[in-house]
């Protein structure tokens, strides 16, 4: 996603509603209804399908955005009708591969279509993709330029931007790693509310494989110590948004160390700079808890013989209560799926999140809704499991070749990025009680 619409900016303060607000419904009415079964009126492009495409697809499917085909006009969409039916009914488009039905379903900035929207598209294609009355068409969206921050509709422009030093990428060659350190350039301590990494456009979007800014902080001995990551950028990624009661501290004396990975793509890029946009809490405001984002490794061999599969796992235990705020699987073209489970101190296990159709071209940090973010008492263990496929069924691999672990784009990787708010016992008990109270008033209301 590289752009936003003017309309979305008017919605600032709401949600990124125009784009991708969708409530996940666990029960799936099987897609494949005919127009008659779907309701008492004929489903048409102008009246039913165009609004769905506008809100969920056109940000990428329009001229000079990231997708190869445009879905603005009826005749353009008509040509792709069957492929659209196939992609949406398998939940491959929009590219947001968080499982529906398993694990926590309340995700912020959720791109998934509702089952009803999928049903409408399927019914329309099954009915022969009729145009309907052009007078029913929604007004077109006016798109702003591709350099809009993705969180801008929600938060406005960032308060502060930190850039990498300029870097040259040749046309040909292998992977390149680069770790420039740059000052934060802020006058006083500030607490961070949201972050977003943005490669240059259009060149950087193609040659940046990942870019992870990390905080280095001076300790008493005058040495710099790593303090956790700010964000992780990989293709398709939006930013990080910290829950209201938590923040990440940034100090004037901190350095930002960028861990960047470029990949030559057949054209030269000179002086590329990657940007980190930061949204701060108001000056002087101190959030109650500290949150950090970290890489959690999954261990074990990834030895992928031709036609082979592999599985890795990672375990982590906290000695204090925590809240898990987000989960982002990371792997390359062989990673097929990743899950994260909790094993509570009383032995109960719970699947927190499952991404079973991982696609390395699209990385998302799945940020849980405030009241759905898992609260883990001290002693809880999380188990991350990753599955890899080097088979004919994986269109992104060459199943004739061996692959293994490594940091090149063609190698495989295995970790999750998880943002954790560190709680004390009192904070934990209070949040648990607040959620119970909320659930009680909601059910007493009869609302929901």
Interaction between residue 59 and ligand HEC (CB under 6 A): yes
Q: What are phi and psi of 122, to 5 degrees?
A: -65, -45
181, 233, 240, 184: which is closest to 212 by C-alpha?
Answer: 233
Q: Which is nearer to ligand HEC, 88 or 195 (CB)?
A: 88
State the Cα–Cα distance between residues 75 and 92, nearest whole angstrom.
Answer: 23
| Residues 6+ away with beta carbon under 8 Å from 425 | 320, 321, 378
| Cα atoms in the Cβ-side hemisphere of radius 13 Å centred on 42 | 13
CB of 64 to ligand HEC, least distance (A): 13
Q: According to CB under 6 A, which one of 9, 15, 70, 87 is a site residue for ligand HEC?
A: 87
311, 318, 362: which is closest to 337 by C-alpha?
Answer: 311
Interaction between residue 290 and ligand HEC (CB under 6 A): no
Q: Which is nearer to ligand HEC, 118 or 215 (CB)?
A: 118
Q: Are 67 and 60 in contact (CB under 8 A)?
A: yes
Q: According to CB under 6 A, which one of 13, 27, 63, 68 is a site residue for ligand HEC?
A: 68
Q: Mark residues 357-396: x for contact with ligand HEC by CB under 6 A, - for none.
A: ----------------------------------------
Q: According to CB under 6 A, which one of 1, 137, 192, 322 is a site residue for ligand HEC?
A: 1
State the Cα–Cα distance between residues 442 and 335, nearest whole angstrom.
Answer: 40
Interaction between residue 235 and ligand HEC (CB under 6 A): no
| Stretch of residues binding ligand HEC (CB under 6 A), selected from 83-91, 289-297, 336-344, 374-382 | 83-91
Q: According to CB under 6 A, which one of 66, 215, 360, 382 is a site residue for ligand HEC?
A: 66
286, 311, 308, 306: which is closest to 384 by C-alpha?
Answer: 311
Q: Which is nearer to ligand HEC, 80 or 296 (CB)?
A: 80
Interaction between residue 83 and ligand HEC (CB under 6 A): yes
Interaction between residue 95 and ligand HEC (CB under 6 A): yes
Q: According to CB under 6 A, which one of 61, 91, 108, 190 is a site residue for ligand HEC?
A: 61
Q: Which is nearer to ligand HEC, 137 or 256 (CB)?
A: 137
Unique residue bearing structure tokens 């930061």? 278
State the Cα–Cα distance between residues 311 and 304, nearest whole angstrom.
Answer: 10
Interaction between residue 234 and ligand HEC (CB under 6 A): no
State the Cα–Cα distance between residues 106 and 26, nearest whole angstrom.
Answer: 11
- Residues 264, 267, 268, 274: is their CA dihedral positive or negative? negative
Using only C-alpha atoms, the chain has a radius of gyration, in whole angstroms, of: 23
Q: Which is nearer to ligand HEC, 60 or 278 (CB)?
A: 60
| Stretch of residues binding ligand HEC (CB under 6 A), selected from 24-32, 93-101, 128-136, 270-278 | 93-101
Instruction: Give the residues lining the site for ligand HEC (CB under 6 A).
Output: 1, 56-57, 59-61, 66-68, 80, 83-84, 87-88, 93-95, 113
């Amino acid at each position: 996603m590289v752009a936003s619409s003017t309309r979305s900016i008017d919605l600032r303060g709401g949600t990124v509603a125009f784009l991708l607000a969708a409530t996940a419904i666990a029960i799936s009415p099987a897609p494949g209804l005919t127009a008659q079964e779907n309701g008492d009126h004929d489903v048409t492009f102008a009246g039913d399908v165009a609004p769905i495409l506008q809100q969920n697809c056109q940000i990428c499917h329009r001229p000079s955005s990231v997708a190869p085909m445009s879905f603005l006009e009826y005749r353009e969409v008509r040509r792709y009708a069957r492929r659209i039916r196939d992609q949406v009914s398998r939940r491959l488009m929009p590219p947001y591969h968080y499982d529906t039905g398993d694990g926590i379903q309340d995700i912020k900035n959720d791109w998934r279509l509702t089952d009803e929207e999928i049903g409408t598209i399927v019914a329309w294609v099954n009915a022969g993709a009729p145009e309907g009355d052009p007078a029913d068409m929604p007004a077109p969206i006016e798109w702003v330029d591709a350099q809009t921050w993705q969180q801008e509709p929600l938060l406005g422009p960032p308060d502060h931007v930190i850039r990498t030093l300029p870097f040259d990428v040749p046309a040909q060659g292998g992977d390149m790693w680069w770790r420039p350190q740059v000052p934060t350039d802020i006058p006083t301590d500030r607490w961070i509310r949201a972050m977003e990494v943005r490669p240059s456009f259009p060149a950087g979007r193609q040659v940046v494989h990942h870019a992870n800014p990390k905080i280095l902080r001076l300790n008493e001995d005058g040495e710099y110590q790593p303090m956790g990551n700010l964000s992780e950028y990989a293709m398709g990624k939006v930013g990080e948004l910290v829950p209201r009661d938590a923040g990440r501290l940034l100090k004037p004396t901190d350095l930002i160390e960028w861990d960047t990975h470029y990949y030559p793509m057949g054209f030269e890029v000179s002086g590329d700079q990657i940007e980190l946009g930061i949204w701060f809490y108001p000056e002087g405001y101190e959030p109650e808890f500290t949150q950090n984002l970290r890489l959690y490794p999954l261990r074990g061999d990834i030895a992928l013989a031709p036609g082979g599969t592999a599985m890795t796992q990672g375990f982590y235990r906290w000695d204090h209560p925590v809240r898990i705020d987000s989960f982002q699987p990371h792997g390359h073209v062989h990673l097929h799926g990743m899950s994260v489970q909790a094993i509570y101190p009383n032995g109960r296990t719970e699947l927190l999140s499952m991404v079973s159709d991982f696609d390395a071209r699209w990385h998302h940090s799945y940020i849980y809704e405030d009241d759905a973010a898992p609260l883990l008492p001290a002693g809880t263990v999380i188990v991350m499991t990753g599955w890899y496929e080097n088979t004919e069924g994986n269109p992104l691999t060459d199943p004739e070749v061996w692959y293994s672990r490594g940091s090149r784009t063609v190698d495989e990787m295995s970790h999750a990025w998880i943002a954790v708010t560190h709680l004390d016992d009192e904070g934990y008990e209070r949040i648990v009680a607040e959620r119970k109270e909320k659930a009680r008033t909601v059910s007493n209301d009869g609302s929901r």
